Amino acid sequence: MKPTSKEKKTIPKISAGSFGAKLENGITRIPKNIGTGYIKGFIINPRLRLIVRQYELKEEWMLDRGISEDGNEFVVFSFQNVYHAKETIRNHKLQAPSGGMLLPSVQIATTDFNYELLPANRKVNSIVVTVHVDYLRALLQPKTENTFLQVILAGTQPFLFEEILSPGIQDIAAAIVMADPPKELQEYYYKIKAEELIYLLLVELLKRQDTSMQKLNAADIRKILEVKTSILSNIETPPVIADLVKLSGMSESKLKRLFKQIFGNSIFNYYQAFRMKEAAYLIKEEKISVSEAGYRLGFSNLSHFTRLFETHIGVKPKKYSLTV
């Protein structure tokens, strides 16, 4: 997503390779004047690369990954907040984002939307896989027609999809962060893991029922992401469609259509699904009681909370708390 003229004036711009000096094993340390942390990158081959990012910046930056002028030829899989929930990761002294609101998610997009706003004063834990569409075609070799695969593999139009991560993807991401493969096998190891992440994400996308697609542009994407931020900024209160329509500057029908296309769910169902994922996070990671999780998320009726939790997570919250 290209920055607006206003963003260019007010937000410093940086390229993917200019944070700091390259150190051993492909690690780039963030300079102290910019922030703390590191970026660890692997160019597996000219059409596939993987980057692990763990840092916190002192001010906002607009990141230009600088992959290619032919934006539709590359696809970016950006896995966000992917390993903060793992006990082994915390023991390894990787810092987790504060609060439970930054649940693991992934965006898949063409590089047309590949300008990324890096927030200030927020711990970033992410894995980014960038792959050429020709590499994906050779990898997948689709035998049947599928709308999602057709759009992703065509390389002819920009797209953006976002998913909340499955436990399987989180496990692979944790393995990548903690891995220390022999130098002679590094490229082979990260190639396997990058392809495994792509496979597991595509499995989730193929579960979507509505496959209708509308052409996207950068301005609409910015507005939809603002709407998402607004919904999740006050998770205790259900979203008001009229307020979101005003925020987006779109018609109600266009807002609902684009939101469902990107996130795979209606606005309200997305809100409820995220709310229940947050409840599961609180129960599993913060070890709080079921009743406290419900109250914290704005439920006054715990029976209603229990029914919703079971619908979205698959088990009742009490049973879930005993199995984690």
- For the chain, the domains span 5-205, 272-324
Architecture of domain 272-324: Orthogonal Bundle (1.10)
pLDDT (tens digit per residue) in 261-288: 999 999 999 999 889 988 988 888 788 8
pLDDT of residue 95: 36
- Match 């569409």 to its residue by tokens: 133
100-135 tens-digit pLDDT: 446 688 888 886 655 566 777 878 888 999 999 999
pLDDT tens digit string along 291-311? 999 998 889 899 999 999 999
> Predicted confidence band at 207 (pLDDT cuts at 50, 70, 90)?
confident
How confident is the model over 196-201, as a mean pLDDT? 93
User: Phi/psi at 59 (nearest 5 deg)?
Assistant: -145, 165
Q: Does 13 or 183 have the greater pLDDT score?
A: 183
Measuring CA to CA, which residue among 97, 135, 131 is closest to residue 114?
Answer: 131
Q: How far is Cα 132 from Cα 64, in angstroms, rounded to an integer?
A: 17
pLDDT of residue 14: 55
pLDDT at 92: 34
**pLDDT digit string (tens) for 154-185?**
877 778 899 888 878 888 988 998 888 998 99
Is 43 in a helix, a strand, or coil? Answer: strand
Q: What radius of gyration, in Å, describes the C-alpha atoms of the chain?
A: 20
